[in-house]
Chains A and B, each alone.
Chain A
Amino acid sequence: MSGAEFGQQFINALSLGSIYALVAIGLAMVFSILRLINFAHGEALMIGAVFAVLFAERGLPWPVWTLLAVAVTVLGGLIVERVAYRPLRGAPDVTLLLTSLGVSIGLQNGALLTFGSQPRAFPTPEPLLGQILLPGAVQISRVNLVTVLTAISLMVVLTWFVTRTQTGIAMRATAENAMAARLMGININTVIVVAFLLGAALAGVAALLWGARVGRVEYSMGFIPVLKAFVATVIGGFGSIPGAVLGAYILGFGEIFLVALLPDSLTSYRDAFIFSALILILLFRPQGILGSTEPEKI
């Protein structure tokens, strides 16, 4: 691998990891507070991308449809929380997990029904098309650059939010110990709603970036990113937000460089390698790299 090629792959991996991170943060945030593995989080991504296409097809300018798409995603996240998850407060972990699977199937088929089974092209805005030439003959696509920059700035804002604002601190307190947080007068429902809101907003942005990356939008598109984001949260440690981000970048780099370095005959087994790694982590370090959740082991 030449230097230029390495640089390209590096940015590519950074960009892929950034998208995974945006999705994984939402998963980790909700998990840390509710102990819910939210499979339906991938559907937030799908909804964002689908509405981006629908709004763009109406001829709206891109700054408007991107914002609208994120807004709809947030609305969707809040509705799902209110309708499907809130009635299950206090239910066993597996009940929550299964419900989220149900939500995921329902939303996916809702999209199949209304949006159709045919993939449509993602209306990537004009300024994002094309390549940028960096010194050293490193060519990177604008989409990748924008992805990395957007993700990093959002993460900076999120860090500020959870460490500096009262709501953010309340969220961390609830994740630490919901009972104690409640006794301190924190409204758990507000915290949960905020977690879903932030998670959906990040997924909405991730939807736009993912759409621009893969170039097409279809009803089943949320599945792969959420699985990967999920692996990322396991690598980093269930429920740890910095862990989820770290895990996402490890996964992004792992995936890109695995494909670049493996012999051709094995590259298509990429997912098998990734999920074998997942199982090994669950067995030997179930708390992940940064997690502190008590591992459930016998």
Chain B
Amino acid sequence: MAAVVARQRPVRARGHDRRQIVLAIVVLVLGALGAWYADANLNGYRQQLFILCAIYAVVAVALALTSGFTGVFSLGQIGFLAIGAYVSALLSMPPAGKQPMLLPGLPEWLATFDSSGWHPQAALLFASLVGGLAAALIGALVGAPLMRLSGNYVAVATMGFLIIVHSVAVNWDDVTRGARGLSQIPTSTNPWAAYVWAAIAVYVALRLRNSPYGRAMIASRENIIASRSVGVNVLRTRLLAFVVSAFLTGVAGSLLAHQIGTVAPSGFYFATTFTVVIMVVLGGMGSISGAVVGAIIMTLTPELLRPIEDGVSLGPLEFGALYGLSNIIIAIGFILVMIFRPQGLLGDRELGLALLGRRTPQQDASGEDITITPELVSAADAANPDSRG
């Protein structure tokens, strides 16, 4: 079964494990320092940027899970972001904002549900978990049929899902208030909450990838028939990735809703989809740290380009405000990446391991199938003496 693929791991991964743990602790501490610094010292705008980076890191890692690990390219990710955002918003809004006059479609228990007396972070955690679970549930329903498709077909079908979610958000006036969106959501997402969820997302993704399930995902990405012949249940493997990814994205949606305090359908459509896709492709489709790096770059770049957008004069031409310029620069940069470095900045590798100059375990798993024999184990041990814990 899937364990056959997994058995390769202990052969050479132990030495890495120790380094990985050290590295993970270093990254965690650095991130925590960042969160502390953002929380205590940064002004509002920079603090929001920190939060945004962390939220998009969650979304990008989640997309890397489906698109990078299983090779099922989803364009519907932002649909889950919307579901998480709307569900959590409806939970957290004070009952005054959910009166039947405003939102006649809400069931009574939800309209009267009031978490404003709770500790703000407890209310946020609750709303995020419920939002994430709602997204995961829908992810399971949608994924069960869609994960049978591959390549272009799955991209198109998931895009259809996004359009359906958007259409419902725009038209279901009684619950979503249509294009006007929901407001009065408590703005309780602070740097800590965003950071902790980003760390959880990275941890879950890393653990998943180094587990039998993760190896099955990568095996099915590389070669569906070969992976099936060693007992990988491709549909179940893909579905697992899709549902976990939907959950994390739903949580990110909740964090986003509680950051800006409003949700509207226009924020959850193709522009956002494209941004998140660039994050993952830029970082390297199979790389978790790549997704995080991509998320940070793509969150900060538009902010850095903003001054240019606000107005330049070029010789005789006076441009008041160059709206769209930053997107043009990003689009051109993205096309150049696709042409010259389609594997992204990191490809399948992880940042820490790349810096250490080691191949990740995954590159072996994606190569030829190896049958593990005692000879092979001792040969590997001889080549790598410190690998026996």
Contacts and interface: CB of A to CB of B under 8 A. Distances in A.
Given A94-B73, A112-B323, A279 B157 contact: yes
A93 to B, nearest CB: 5
Given A99-B338, A103-B335, A106-B327, A296 B149 contact: yes
Given A98-B277, A99-B338, A272-B164, A109 B235 contact: no
Interface stretch (A6-14, A46-54, A83-91, A149-157): A83-91
A161 interface: no
Nearest to A113: B324
A110 interface: yes
A35 B149 contact: no
Contact of A234 (B156, B271, B323): B156
A193 interface: no
B160 A283 contact: no
Interface in A255-298: 268-269, 271-272, 275-276, 278-279, 282-283, 286, 295-298
Interface in A19-57: 35, 37
B163 A98 contact: no
A101 B277 contact: yes
A298 B147 CA distance: 8
Nearest to B275: A105
B201 interface: no
B111 to A, nearest CB: 21
Interface string A168-184: 00000000000000000
A95 B342 contact: yes
B234 A94 contact: no
B19 interface: no
A97 B152 contact: yes
B150 interface: yes
A102 interface: yes
B290 to A, nearest CB: 15
B325 A282 contact: no
Interface in B47-88: 73
Contact of A112 (B270, B324, B339): B324
B274 A101 contact: yes
Interface in B144-160: 145-153, 155-157, 160
Name which of B156, B238, B323, B334 has the most chain A CB atoms within 10 A of its CB.
B156
Nearest to B220: A298
B339 A88 contact: yes
B328 A283 contact: no
A227 interface: yes
A51 B339 CA distance: 29
Given A106-B327, A110-B324, A227 B338 contact: no
Given A98-B281, A272-B167, A297-B148, A37 B156 contact: yes
Nearest to A114: B324
Interface string B88-128: 00000000000000000000000000000000000000000
B331 interface: yes
Q: How large is the interface on A (under 10, 10 to 19, 20 to 34, 35 or more residues)?
A: 35 or more
A117 interface: yes
Contacts of B342: 91-92, 95
Interface in B311-347: 322-325, 327-328, 330-332, 334-335, 338-339, 342
A141 to B, nearest CB: 28
B277 A276 contact: no
Q: How large is the interface on B (under 10, 10 to 19, 20 to 34, 35 or more residues)?
A: 35 or more
Interface string B209-246: 00000000000000010000000001100100000000
B196 to A, nearest CB: 31
B161 interface: yes
Interface string A47-75: 00000000000000000000000000000
B156 A109 contact: no
Contacts of B160: 275-276, 278-279, 282
B335 A102 contact: yes
B171 interface: yes
Contacts of A253: none
Interface string B166-179: 01101100000000
A244 B51 CA distance: 45
A282 B270 CA distance: 21
B152 A279 contact: no
B171 A268 contact: yes
A230 interface: yes
A1 B224 CA distance: 52
Contacts of B322: 113
Given A101-B277, A113-B325, A269-B168, A279 B234 contact: no
Contacts of A91: 338, 342
Given A101-B277, A112-B324, A272 B168 contact: yes
A286 B327 contact: no
Name which of A113, A219, A279 has the most chain B CB atoms within 10 A of its CB.
A279
A269 B163 CA distance: 11
Given A37-B156, A93-B151, A296-B151, A269 B325 contact: no
A105 B339 contact: no
Contacts of A279: 145-146, 157, 160-161
Contact of A105 (B150, B235, B274): B274
Contact of B149 (A93, A110, A269, A297): A297
19 contacts: A37-B155, A93-B151, A94-B152, A94-B155, A95-B342, A98-B277, A98-B281, A98-B334, A106-B328, A109-B325, A111-B324, A227-B163, A271-B167, A272-B164, A272-B167, A275-B160, A279-B146, A298-B149, A298-B238
Interface of B: 73, 145-153, 155-157, 160-161, 163-164, 167-168, 170-171, 224, 234-235, 238, 270-271, 274, 277-278, 281, 322-325, 327-328, 330-332, 334-335, 338-339, 342
What are the 3 closest A-B residue pairs judged by CB atoms, nearest first? A106-B331, A109-B324, A112-B324
Given A101-B277, A102-B278, 8 more contacts: A94-B152, A98-B338, A99-B339, A105-B331, A271-B163, A276-B160, A298-B150, A298-B234
